[in-house]
Chains A and B, each alone.
Chain A
């Protein structure tokens, strides 16, 4: 099938991208502003012979997709703030048991029920730290429909490569907005398939023994290898252990497999950075307004650039340092109280880092950014 041009909502793009990546199992519970993902999945999955489950809550949704991943399927669940909070225990399970899965959080204003239909990027810190215990996590985002498609496919690829949950953190604006998208032809974007063990039947299979390249080949539930999966600290057979040496190794494996690969995992986009005196750092819907400002100011000869983050965690400290080295002002534009500002300040001399934000449930506009830039640049209000 050739490329297909469509004019659809961001939430629907997530569905089409997931199917493109090979998804055939979804479980979810409706919540604004992610509901359209659940609805479209209900329509699309049976069409391809896949399975859709509307569960009794978000806790069971994440549990169900973990179960389905273990039988060898590519799986996803989608939710928003309150539902994402409910998923934290299951998320930790997927991290500990190393289960590939993708979790979408189309953010709304919080805390609590907050602003169900208001745009926000308030879950960035939660996505990093949400579940209990030391852990690393991959969190990605995008600002337009074409990128949502590619990032969603990438999320599935990373989930399979590293045997890990991957979080897609979108927001109400991109989720609900309709925009043109070219659905790529099959084969255009590379797909990573489940790595299955080559260990023969009857030979001891170690589900939690990494290969030399760090990957852990899996065996589908139902096939010839029978093994144990647990959220307890476990040995290479997946059996619970509290042996300090084994636990130490496990903890480092879980964190290092992601944090030591920031440069391979990390994705971002650059606009006019070469000579920029002021660099805006933004992501998701906020980056749309930021890009608008940068392009209009460039036309007037102002040395403004945009660094659009697509990987939020693991945080690309090194990349930020490198790209922003020569800038006089680094301005983080986001719809929260500075959740990406913090790690940016850790990457750079803090006195050149500024924040432009909104937390009132209203989309941050180019005018908002322009006004605040005047203040930062000392040009008054």
Chain B
């Protein structure tokens, strides 16, 4: 099926700035769905609020555009009430880990089957460039005009510690890897997290003198490496890409089926 069959053309043009990384994620996400040959009616995409969260409006699945930070909580209700549905939950970094941080760790802890995609541009895009819990120490933002003193979460370590059974990371420069990781995450039974570094040329890179889209993509290329690569050993500053966690663990809806069985005995 061509990609255009997965989008709602009626609702274009999209709201994203030119050069925004979120469009690349959308594109490769749809490619993953296509390559898996999924039925559009089996997919529910739940998103919160932010530039990233607008992604749900553009795709021809069942789409639920919810509240800032709460996408995973809504998704939990959808999944538990109808476990046959496939849940995809794209979130901004603020959405997922500031206001939504609690839901993030609890969804991971339950290991409920859904694919959480953190579209990490290290800034609050929609509200105009405030720092997020992923901006990191020393960055600049409209609310950190002198230099950010907040340290960032490591999404991978956080997700792993909270109990996610599939955890991966890539960037918008590595488009093919986005598709590949999303495919594996969807096929994984349990809570999967993919962090995708995504450029916000309008706020993050401008504020931090990191150039535009091209320079940011180059930055992703030069500052990331495959998990366990030789480059990483030589330069520990590099950010690793790939699958960090992939483990078989009891899934929450399956576990609840056992509760039903016990209650009906």
Q: Which of A43, A51, A65, A222 contacts B42 (CB 8 A)?
A: A222
Prevailing SS type, chain A contact patch: mixed
* B residues 64-120 touching A (CB-CB < 8 Å): 64-67, 70, 72-82, 84-85, 102-103, 106
A224 vs B61: C-alpha distance when bound (angstroms): 10
Contacts of B256 in A (CB 8 A): 46, 51
Q: Which of A49, A93, A228 contacts B63 (CB 8 A)?
A: A228
Prevailing SS type, chain B contact patch: helix
What is the distance, in angstroms, from A257's C-beta to the closest C-beta of chain B? 22
What is the distance, in angstroms, from A218's C-beta to the closest C-beta of chain B? 12
Contacts of A222 in B (CB 8 A): 41-42, 44, 62, 82, 84-85
Cβ A227 vs Cβ B63 within 8 A: yes
Q: Does any Cβ of A come within 8 Å of B57's Cβ? A: yes
Cβ B66 vs Cβ A93 within 8 A: yes
Chain A interface residue number, banded: 35 or more
Q: Does any Cβ of A come within 8 Å of B121's Cβ? A: no
What is the distance, in angstroms, from A336's C-beta to the closest C-beta of chain B? 29
Contacts of A142 in B (CB 8 A): none
Q: Does any Cβ of A come within 8 Å of B216's Cβ? A: no
Contacts of B81 in A (CB 8 A): 25, 51, 67-68, 71, 73, 75
Task: Choose the segment among A53-61, A121-129, A180-188, A308-316 that binds chain B (4+ C-beta atoms closer than 8 Å).
Answer: A53-61
A150 vs B259: C-alpha distance when bound (angstroms): 30
Q: Does any Cβ of A come within 8 Å of B1's Cβ? A: no
Contacts of A68 in B (CB 8 A): 77-78, 80-81
Cβ B66 vs Cβ A63 within 8 A: yes
A357 vs B171: C-alpha distance when bound (angstroms): 62
Cβ B103 vs Cβ A60 within 8 A: yes
Number of interface residues, chain B, beta carbon within 8 A: 41
Q: Does any Cβ of B come within 8 Å of A240's Cβ? A: yes
Contacts of B259 in A (CB 8 A): 46
What is the distance, in angstroms, from A306's C-beta to the closest C-beta of chain B? 41
Q: Does any Cβ of B come within 8 Å of A230's Cβ? A: yes
Q: Does any Cβ of B come within 8 Å of A355's Cβ? A: no
Cβ B260 vs Cβ A229 within 8 A: no
Take A64-B73, A221-B62 as given contacts and tell me if A226 and B103 are in contact as well, using a CB distance cutoff of 8 Å. Answer: no
Q: Does any Cβ of B come within 8 Å of A66's Cβ? A: yes
Take A47-B264, A51-B256, A71-B85 as given contacts and tell me if A224 and B41 are in contact as well, using a CB distance cutoff of 8 Å. Answer: yes
What is the distance, in angstroms, from A109's C-beta to the closest C-beta of chain B? 27
What are some 18 contacts across the A-B interface (CB < 8 A)? A25-B77, A25-B80, A47-B263, A47-B264, A49-B260, A51-B256, A55-B73, A61-B73, A66-B74, A67-B77, A67-B81, A70-B62, A71-B85, A226-B62, A229-B64, A231-B66, A232-B65, A239-B11
What residues of chain A have their CB less than 8 Å away from a CB belonging to chain B? 25, 27, 43, 46-47, 49, 51, 53, 55-57, 59-61, 63-73, 75, 89-90, 93, 220-224, 226-232, 237, 239-240
